Chains A and B, each alone.
Chain A
Amino acid sequence: MQSKSVYKIPDGKLLKISLNYTKNKIIEIRIMGDFFAYPEEAIEIIETKLKDSYLNRESLLNKINSVIKDNNIEFIGLTAEGLTDGIMMCLK
């Protein structure tokens, strides 16, 4: 299934998610928007690591937080919670 979401991060920037998924797993995800991430290439690492992830809020948030920690990623105008919410909104 294909779905998209547009989500204004509270006190942050606009996040746009494009999601290709099965009933409960991510096949492919594209994370877009006018936020900042340091280093920029980190967003592609997150997209890759989220492949095959279960579409469950808690497990997604844990996974995103662990990728952020492992790769020393700094977001500005985006948060792990906001990114998780943006992904889950694709299911509504």
Chain B
Amino acid sequence: MKEQWRLLKTENISAAKNMAIDRAVLVANSEGNSPPTVRFFTWKPPAISIGYFQSLKEEVNLDVCKKLGVDCVRRITGGGAVFHDDELTYSIVIPEDHPQIPKNIMDSYGRICGAIIHGLDYLGIESNYKPINDIIANSKKISGNAQTRKLKTVLQHGTVLMDVDVEKMFSILKVPNEKIRDKLISDVKERVTSVKHVLGRDVSFSDAAEAMKTGFEKEFNVELVEGELSEEELKLAKNFERDFFGSKDWNHRR
């Protein structure tokens, strides 16, 4: 019998709550109270998340965010700023010593991104892992990923872009020229693509989540069984939302 992992689907959740849930699941899993867990989620309102080491005011046009009703949150993972609007976001929480997880961090990025690549394949999109933390389709970024390891537990979360409003995205994110130069692309709008753009049609969250579920099951040879957050996780998430992701101290600490 295949190993069973938990599958969570949580749509239309605020930025602070989404990041609080990821951390709560990490803590519960580290204590042996929750199984390895894959979550698919969306953000309401749309939100910017920034990497742990970034400065909110340097990366984000905060006035534009306020005007457009876009949330801002600092992640516990490194990496760059992301505009979460029309996308499927995933997270996976699993013990560091699980046999399916490579000890080497870069190898584990590749392995987890493999699940997303399989998922995109089920949607009819050919894609590749591009180290350090991107998945590309037609030479353009379709998914960004970030991993942390805390309490001997791996948390990786990432995006699958369903559709992109490039104008809106770059009105909110401050993009430094230095990063673009290296990618040999003159226009920032040329760097990203989406499921809709590649397929030429809309794909619903539930269809995308089903494809990604199959992708994880194939990559890790497991069965994902839909479940709920435990009472402990809900309580932890509430506390993390209050003390970290919903607080100015946390979000503006750099």
Chain A hits for B147, CB < 8 A: 36
Partner of B132, one of A6, A13, A40, A74: A13
Flag B186-227 by CB within 8 Å of A: 1 or 0 each.
000000000000000000000000000000000000000000
Which residue from chain A places its CB closest to the CB of B109 in the assembled complex? Answer: A76
The total of chain B residues at the interface (CB under 8 A) is 27
Q: Report chain A residues within 8 Å CB of B116.
A: none
Given A8-B181, A8-B182, A40-B53, answer yes or no on A77-B132 (Cβ-Cβ < 8 Å).
Answer: yes
Which residue, of A6, A37, A39, A40, has the highest number of chain B Cβ atoms within 10 A?
Answer: A40
Would B178 and A32 count as touching, CB distance under 8 A?
no
Contacts of A36 in B (CB 8 A): 77-79, 105, 132-133, 146-147
User: Residue B80 at the A interface, CB < 8 A?
Assistant: yes
Residue of B53, B54, B81 with most chain A CB atoms under a 10 A cut-off: B53
Question: Once the chains bind, are B179 and A76 in contact (CB under 8 Å)?
Answer: no
Give the chain B neighbours of A30 by CB distance below 8 A: 55, 254
Q: Does chain B have a CB within 8 A of A90?
A: no
A33:B150 contact, CB within 8 angstroms: no
Compute how far the CA of A12 lies from the CA of B80 in the bound complex, rounded to whole angstroms: 12
**Contact indicator B132/A8 (Cβ below 8 Å):** no
Shortest A35–chain B CB gap in Å is 6
Interfacial residues, chain A to chain B (CB-CB below 8 A): 6-8, 12-14, 16, 30-40, 43, 74, 76-77
Q: Which of B54, B81, B179, B254 contacts A8 (CB 8 A)?
A: B179
Residues from chain A with Cβ under 8 Å of B79 in the complex? 34, 36
B78 touches which one: A6, A7, A16, A37 (CB < 8 A)?
A37
Known: A32-B55, A34-B80. 7 other contacts (CB 8 A): A16-B55, A33-B53, A34-B51, A35-B78, A36-B79, A40-B52, A40-B78
| B99 at interface by CB-CB < 8 Å | no
| Chain B, 157-184, CB within 8 A of any chain A CB | 176, 178-179, 181-182
Q: Mark B27-59, 1 if CB is under 8 A from A, else 0.
A: 000000000000000000000000111110010
Distance from B152 Cβ to chain A, minimum over Cβ atoms (Å):
11
Evaluate contact between B178 and A40: CB separation under 8 angstroms: no
Seen from chain B, the residues whose Cβ lies within 8 Å of a Cβ on chain A are: 51-55, 58, 76-81, 105-106, 132-133, 146-150, 176, 178-179, 181-182, 254
**C-alpha spacing A82/B146, complex, angstroms:** 21
CA distance A14 to B58 in the complex (A): 13
- Report whether A34 and B81 are in contact in the complex, using a CB–CB cutoff of 8 Å: yes
A16 contact set on B, CB distance < 8 A: 55, 58
Contact B132 A37 (CB under 8 A): no
Name 28 interchain pairs, CB-CB below 8 A, sorted by A: A7-B178, A8-B178, A8-B179, A8-B181, A12-B132, A13-B80, A14-B80, A16-B55, A31-B53, A32-B54, A33-B51, A33-B53, A34-B53, A34-B54, A34-B80, A34-B81, A36-B77, A36-B105, A36-B132, A36-B147, A37-B78, A38-B105, A38-B148, A40-B52, A40-B53, A40-B76, A43-B53, A76-B105
| Chain A residues within 8 Å of B181, by CB | 8
Taken together as a complex, chains A and B put the C-alpha atoms of A37 and B147 apart, in Å, by: 10
Q: Given A34-B53, A40-B53 in contact, is the A76-B132 Cβ separation under 8 Å?
A: yes
Which of B76, B78, B105, B150 has the most chain A CB atoms inside 10 A of its CB?
Answer: B78
